[in-house]
Amino acid sequence: MNALFTGIYNLFISDTGHAFYTGTGGRFYLNKAPQAATFPYCVYHLIAANDELDFGEENEVFQVQFDVFTQNNSALSAGTLLAGLKSRFDDCALTVSGWRHIYMVREFVAPNNDLTEVPPIMGYSVQYEIMLEKAK
């Protein structure tokens, strides 16, 4: 799994002029954000992993969730982060050491807001399915 997380991170940093990189200010964290993280930012983490054997090929299917957050009173800002995330990761080609990337497909998007904070934290959770095949 470390190779997958590295592949995701490497795609994120491979173009620092991309809208998603600039929108988050380069703040992209595995599993959880630091306590005093500056908004906006993105956290990604593993939801599930399944082994599949298909005619002797070893495949792994992963569900990875990305959570984007901004702290202001505008859903537009969170929507801009979401658009950048989708532009960067929807149907992308990951480079994962020791594996061949088959696909990365968005499964769903859901709002992820905390309106009790001042200013409110606006965000989205986005889940992707990723299939990799063990390199020969």
What pLDDT digit, counting tens, does each position of 74-89 carry? 778 999 999 999 999 9
- Cα distance between residue 96 and residue 87, in whole Å: 20
Domain boundaries along the sequence of the chain: 2-33+40-134
Q: Is the pLDDT of residue 55 over 60?
A: no
Strand partners, 99: 134
| pTM for the model | 0.92
Q: Is 7 helix (H, G, I), strand (E, B) or coil?
A: helix
CATH code matching the domain that covers 2-33+40-134, chosen among 3.30.1360.120, 3.40.190.10, 3.30.2000.30, 3.40.50.1820: 3.30.2000.30
pLDDT of residue 18: 97
∠23-85-106 over CA atoms, to 5°?
170
pLDDT of residue 53: 58
Instruction: Return mean pLDDT, the chain.
Output: 92
